[in-house]
Amino acid sequence: MSVTDQLVKSNRDYATGFTDPGIDARPVLGVAVVACMDARIDLHAALGLQLGDCHTVRNAGGVVTDDVIRSLAISQRKLGTRSVVLIHHTGCGLEAITEDFRTELEMEVGQRPAWAVESFRDVDQDVRQSMQRVRTSPFLLHTDDVRGFVFDVKTGRLHEVDPTR
């Protein structure tokens, strides 16, 4: 059985006991969380969140890309979020690769990706850059409550990044 088949089977089991929670698509806490897709981070558990509390946007590095801005614009303008929490983490894979990855892909498949890898060396500085991208986006209505953190994958603790350093 493939991994996807296992997931589909698990969903069948889940669906047999599922009842509609009757919640709205608008997050109860009015917050959108942007985080890395790293499998070691259980965001809901780490932040004490329940189903329906927040919108969650995840990608490699938790980087604020154009697509993240798109999701945040919809989250704010159509679904009422007012706060943005950015979470990067220690030991991120983007610290180990470079923009040369795009060249590698181009050599392999004959086409250069249009997207940037968004690799970095300093996780705190990368959080600052992501905070700045959110705060300066003309598409976002609510940019006054934007905070950034680094999640330590060894301790489970967050430390807040000072945006002014």
| Core vs surface per residue 118-153: b (16+ CB within 10 A) or e | bbbeebbebbbbbbebbeebeebebbeebebbbbee
- Assigned token pair, 32: 């959108």
The string of pLDDT tens digits covering residues 103-127 is: 999 999 999 999 999 999 999 999 9
- Burial zone of 116 (CB within 10 Å; 0-12 exposed, 13-18 middle, 19+ buried): exposed
Q: What is the pTM of this model?
A: 0.93
pLDDT given at position 165: 77
Tokens of 95: 């610290």
Q: Which residues of the chain have pLDDT under 50?
A: none
Q: What is the pLDDT of residue 154?
A: 97
Per-residue confidence (pLDDT) for residue 78, from 0 to 100: 98
Domains of the chain: 23-160 (3.40.1050.10)
Look at residue 145 in the predicted model and tell me its pLDDT.
97
The Cα–Cα gap between 40 and 154 comes to 10
Q: Return the pLDDT at 53.
A: 97
Locate 5 and state its tokens: 């088949």
Amino acid at 158: L
Q: How far is CA 139 from CA 24, 76, 86, in A?
A: 24, 10, 17
d(CA 86, CA 137): 15
